[in-house]
Copies of this chain bind each other. A is one copy, B any other.
């Protein structure tokens, strides 16, 4: 039996409230003065909380494996990240802010420059001269205005970075993977003819027809633009992931400023909420207004990762200190269980996600406590939780909130 099935069987609803704070890319390795940002930061409130909490490290996927944001998050939500995968097309759609449902096929697309020769469309530039994000936005809005649906299938589009965009076909019923068996249209080399999105299976025919008509109309609409055609690839359906709120019997809210995290949590069955602004303060405001109505709240703080990716030690440290300053306010809301962790490490000297274990703190009345002095990588290594799988976190949070019955008689 899978862990998730065991939890589903054991979980009971009660009044306990859980707050899971994910500081994206939180983990780090020593760099400036031999310290990590968590070590160098002044965090009086986290220090105090650490002494009263269970600390440890978690490994989101497997030792040595660097998780993308998808697997990192699935893991901390209790899903085996090797079993449940979210395709890149889906994550990109979520990332640009498209809402993805089980009726949707997501497509990664980009603007290209083509030329008609003897009735054929020849690709001159696969990225339309690296079209700017601004030009992309204009073009995409223009197309969106003209094409709302084709053959009863709703079309949604949203521009991304530079020449990239996401397209979503919304059907009237649940889609399946076979419907995506369609040729990608990028010929991969310039000077070659655009490939037609032909179906490779019976079930894909209906999608193929929509795409052919869509491309004809797109070509008409942007014929005279710098990016005068669209290349399509990465057709994907949403993964079948058990509903978080249903499995764990948790009325769940996701508080996130970045569309990808909002989209991902919505996809797995959490409620989402609008955050006015992008600061930690803005998110705490939303938390304060909403916490009474939910059993479980996921609060995502993005900037630790962004500064990690930039290699910006001092600003990563400042985000941690800023979070620390809001901790008293968070504690005043009296969650029964508070968990603070990351979805993966993003060491500033590596400027990228990494495979390193991620600091983890669980505050509840039922901990050994007293093993760690601070919430840092090394102090977490001394903690009572040891180094566990990311997947273990949800079990522990449910257990600490007394939502899990005994297993077996």
Contacts and interface: CB of A to CB of B under 8 A. Distances in A.
Given A366-B29, A395-B65, A396-B63, A81 B378 contact: no
B62 A395 contact: yes
Interface string A392-409: 101111111000111111
Interface stretch (A67-75, A190-198, A276-284): A67-75
Given A366-B350, A366-B354, A387-B386, A407 B3 contact: no
A355 B404 contact: yes
A336 to B, nearest CB: 14
A368 B29 contact: yes
A6 B371 CA distance: 36
A61 B404 CA distance: 13
A73 to B, nearest CB: 10
A381 interface: yes
Interface residues of A, number: 63
Contacts of A70: 408-409
Contact of A71 (B347, B386, B398, B408): B408
A374 interface: no
B381 A384 contact: yes
Interface stretch (A42-50, A83-91, A289-297): A83-91
A259 interface: no
A402 to B, nearest CB: 9
B355 A399 contact: yes
A140 interface: no
A388 B63 contact: yes
A388 to B, nearest CB: 6
Contact of A85 (B34, B370, B408): B408
A216 interface: no
B398 A64 contact: yes
